Structure 1
Amino acid sequence: MKINKNLLVAALPLVGAAVVYKWSTWKTELVKALIKRQKEKGDYNRFIKNFPDPPESLHKKYTFEKIDISGARGYWINKAKASKGVLVYLHGGGYVFGPLEVQWKYIARMSDEVGMAAVVIDYKMAPEHPFPAGLHDVEKIVTTLQAEGAIPGAYYMLGDSAGGGMAIAATNLLMEKKAPLPEKLILMSPWLDLSMRNPAIAFTADKDIMLPLEEIKNSAKKYVPDGDFQNPLVSPLYGNVAGLPPTLIQLGTAEAFLWDNRKFVQKLTEANVEVQYEEYAEMFHVFALVHMLKEGRQALKSQVRFLEG
């Protein structure tokens, strides 16, 4: 059989693309399988290793500067770029742990991608410091840096999981204080209702390989010992959303938080808040932080477009 060389050359890019696509798909499934295995073993210490300070691996590429405002702590990343805008980042971790190495890498990469400075707020956490201690740290750092002129008019607030819920709560608190609000919000798999009472959660709770339902309920009790989960500054799903800035929400369809996020998007839409909502098929909780996954890279590119748009 004689092979047409021109046809073979023409087909090579298609074959290459197919191989790359297949590998990227297998890589996603491999990561999901590894996480699921750790969940079944109950070994979450593999993932929960706090990094209150930036990992050494990032110091070669990024500049860091400590923040300490009356006990409210955090870090600047690339502070010299603050005139171009500031990303205020609130990490997830159920209000009881974090930041993690993957979260540091995510926000450093975002700072690089958009050419802006970032502020990582290492807010106080439960059970030693239950609500509202952490939220007040966020307010203190943001308003103080604004008063000093360190945060310009153009700043943005980003958060994943618990940090996503806190980003909305902090924006509402700043609104009450008549302080300048973030230009936009980016929320990755945000935790919007700490009561976890939505019966639809049962449809996806077992599919959520990253987020054990009992663990998240225990975290809620530690963060809010009095059980007032319907306080809007605890669970933004119960709050007034009118006046919130344009918001990007990203999450996977294999998440326990899926249903509350869908309700929240409807609430934003009814309040005429500009919202961009993205669901990623069969992706797990806070997948957007995992840059090695094609879905994580896709989510980050969408965030960059959202900020620059």
Structure 2
Amino acid sequence: MAPSDIDVIRIRLAAHPRPADLTERRARVDALAADYALPPDVRVEPIDAHGVPAEWTSTPAANGERVILFLHGGGYVSGPLKSHRHMVAQAGREALASTLALGYRLAPEHPFPAALDDALTGYRFLLASGIAPARIALAGESAGGGLALATVLSLREAGLPLPGCLWLSSPWVDLALTGASMDSKAAVDPLLGRTYLSELASLYLNGADALGPLVSPINADLAGLPPMLIQVGSAETLLDDSVRLAALAGAADIAVHLEIWPHMIHAWHLFYQDVADGRRSLASAGTFIESRLDGR
């Protein structure tokens, strides 16, 4: 029997194991997307978002008044803009929105709260640019998903207007690593395990409390947050982060949609050009974002 499309990705990942050196690890994240070209109708515009490097992407059908503010994954230590560009552009296409991806500062050179400060700066940049808060989808993958949630919590505490919705892809919201799937899914997750995540958390926290709500939003009061879509693969050590987050959000009277994609691995959206469920999950996210930013 021929391997499934996601199994082909597993084979590809196994052929390029994670190196020990941080510089080489960052290069490996870049390489994950090296084979994926942007469609010719995608426009990319690098900008300075009040001091934070960022880039716009858009397709001809994009509504310039709707924006996805995207925070990339990479465990807070890697993940430049180019590694997620093709996936971010596709999410924007599906949502009929422009996207603004932020190149927030990375640990260990810039530990917490540098990334959070940059995310808040990027959001304020959109407001200053005339984008209505209700037309912004705040989104993130993995560490970027946790960062997106920490950002909206900070906006709420500061009394600033909140975005129209949240799209969280495999969000890492528990840096104390207390979820049951951290162990129960260890044998099937080809990318993330307890030892590696513990190392990443230590680099990002740099002595900060791993239970703090702005690094581990699973411990936060979620009341008053906007509607959220949470997407996660069934073959992830971070599965329990998403399941617990959805339960807490629902208990806080938030409109929450939880999608658990069978057999999908961490960051499967990155491989959407090869993986059918990557395409389907991005289409689902686009439908959710478009409907929420249009007030439906």
TM score, norm. by length of structure 1: 0.83
How far apart are residue 195 of structure 1 and its match? 1.0
Greater C-alpha Rg: 1
CA distance in 2, matches of 1:269, 1:59: 38
Instruction: Read off the aligned partner of 2:290 and give its amino acid letter.
Output: E
- 1:161-197 deviation digits (Å, cap 9, x = unpaired): 0000001000111112222211111111110101113
Contact 1:83 1:152 in 2 (8 A): no
Tell me what 1:32 maps to: 10
CA distance in 2, matches of 1:75, 1:183: 21
How far apart are residue 114 of structure 1 and its match? 2.5
Task: Decide which structure has greater helix share.
Answer: 1
Find the residue that maps to 2:149 and give its secondary structure: helix
Find the residue that maps to 1:85 and give its secondary structure: strand
Q: 1:69 to 1:288 in 2, by over 3 A?
A: closer
Q: 1:32 to 1:118 in 2, by over 3 A?
A: same
Tell me what 1:233 maps to: 214
Instruction: Read off the aligned partner of 2:12 and give its amino acid letter.
Output: L
Instruction: Work out whether 1:63 is the aligned partner of 2:46.
Output: no
Tell me what 2:294 maps to: none
Find the residue that maps to 1:279 and give its secondary structure: strand
How far apart are residue 37 of structure 1 and its match? 4.1
How far apart are residue 40 of structure 1 and its match? 8.3
How far apart are residue 147 of structure 1 and its match? 2.4
Contact 1:92 1:99 in 2 (8 A): no
Bigger mean CA deviation after superposition, 246-255 or 62-71: 62-71
Considering only aligned residues, what root-mean-square deviation do their CA atoms show, in Å?
Answer: 2.8
How far apart are residue 107 of structure 1 and its match? 0.7
Alignment gaps of 5+ in structure 1:
1-21
CA distance in 2, matches of 1:152, 1:295: 30
Contact 1:207 1:255 in 2 (8 A): yes
- Matched positions, count: 285
How far apart are residue 296 of structure 1 and its match? 0.6
Contact 1:135 1:166 in 2 (8 A): yes
Tell me what 1:254 maps to: 235
How far apart are residue 200 of structure 1 and its match? 4.4
Tell me what 2:117 maps to: 136
Q: 1:57 to 1:177 in 2, by over 3 A?
A: same
Contact 2:181 2:238 in 1 (8 A): no
Instruction: Read off the aligned partner of 1:61 and give its amino acid letter.
Output: D
CA distance in 2, matches of 1:222, 1:254: 25
Tell me what 2:146 maps to: 165
Tell me what 2:244 maps to: 263
Find the residue that maps to 2:16 and give its secondary structure: helix
Bigger mean CA deviation after superposition, 107-116 or 290-299: 107-116
Contact 1:50 1:101 in 2 (8 A): no
Instruction: Read off the aligned partner of 2:8 and give its amino acid letter.
Output: L
Instruction: Work out whether 1:47 is the aligned partner of 2:25.
Output: no
- 1:250-286 deviation digits (Å, cap 9, x = unpaired): 1111111112221111111111111111111222111
Contact 1:39 1:209 in 2 (8 A): no
Q: 1:212 to 1:37 in 2, by over 3 A?
A: farther
Tell me what 1:17 maps to: none
Alignment gaps of 5+ in structure 2:
292-296
Instruction: Work out whether 1:78 is the aligned partner of 2:53.
Output: no
* Identity in percent: 32
Find the residue that maps to 1:105 and give its secondary structure: helix
Find the residue that maps to 2:29 and give its secondary structure: coil
Which structure is higher in RCO with an 8 Å CA cutoff and minimum separation 6? Answer: 2
Tell me what 1:295 maps to: 277
Q: 1:45 to 1:140 in 2, by over 3 A?
A: closer
CA distance in 2, matches of 1:93, 1:131: 15
Q: 1:40 to 1:115 in 2, by over 3 A?
A: closer
Q: 1:29 to 1:59 in 2, by over 3 A?
A: closer
